[in-house]
Structure 1
Amino acid sequence: MAALAEAVGDVISPGVLERDWALWQKLRNLRQTKRGSATPEGYDALAQAVMEAANALPRHPGPLADARAHLNALVTGAQEVLAAYDEAKRRAGLIDYADMIAEAEALLRARHEILQAVLGEIDCVVIDEFQDTNPVQFALLWRLARGAKRALIVGDTKQSIMGFQGADARLSEALQTTLPEAVTPLAERCRERP
């Protein structure tokens, strides 16, 4: 009875069950009589009632609210930091690598005459390691490849390693699905020749 009283006693304080996930879990899994480990008379019935009450909650409201609050703070904080970073870059007249890609894509998308001038200078677009492109890079590269006289795109979805930078191998798969007539699978490994 002491274990049950201790667990239930923790709940007596107002609001504890709403904030304490570990306690809620403890109440869902109280010890009951097992062979060789008897509990005092009446304990199992009380423990079962407490466990049923704890299990009746479809999800624990306290930790869920805490998780939402923490997630909101994390996202809001990240947005503020990125906005401050962007403002600092603009004030200093600087751009970073992501800006180069995004702004080049936006420029070519918005200014057809600039896209045509760039394409007039390109004989062939060659893109290697295509499986490691992210959506913004894909938009830029596809805009160039689609308008170029010739394009060669090489990639292997099984070798995608840049997911941590937003690369998405599904873009390569989607391109293959969209243009199956333009896909030529390599049947042998050229790297392994003597």
Structure 2
Amino acid sequence: MFAFFIVICVIVFFGAMASGILGGIGNLLERKGVKGGLQGFLQEQGITNYEYQYTADNQYIVHDKGNKMFWIYGNGFVGRGYETITDVKLSIDDSVAYQSSISSAVGRAVVGGVLLGGVGAVIGGVTGKKNGKKIVHKVDLILSFNTPDTPYKKVSFMQEEKGVDVFSDQYKTAEEDGLYWSNLIASYMPQN
């Protein structure tokens, strides 16, 4: 009976190892496929004047300047004209750090501290603590549209299950990228 138990444990252990290795390989292939497919996507959509960024959740956010649209491309794609964007939110660990909507013509800082020094001022209320360090797990950008088929789309500039220190380069880059795109998108939203 004990030998049977040992055999089962070994099988489970090696099965988990193989799953992790194969999952990692599949993830790399998927990421490579998305990255390699960007040029074809741009050509297919007739996008020639653009800027883009590859995000932490293996998607691209694309500003299509020529067609006056923003696209999110990865596992499928969503493209919406400036006039259909109703709201843009930058959230840090599920707390809104920046928001702009068509109901407020000027992008408003949800937390007053943002006005005094960027989203970094929000960190105290947003993060958790681990071993005396303030940590952040994710930085997300959520776009809302006035289209019923896809009312919103989210991209992540950082996704870290264990979290990263708020003073790390990884977090600072994710925060800066999120602020850049949220403000860029807000600047093209229709004004009431």
TM-score, normalization by structure 2 = 0.29
- The structure richer in strand per residue is 2
TM-score (norm 1): 0.29
**Greater share of helix:** 1
Query: Per chain length, whose mean CA-contact separation is higher, i.e. which structure has more relative contact order (CA < 8 Å, sep 6+)?
Result: 2
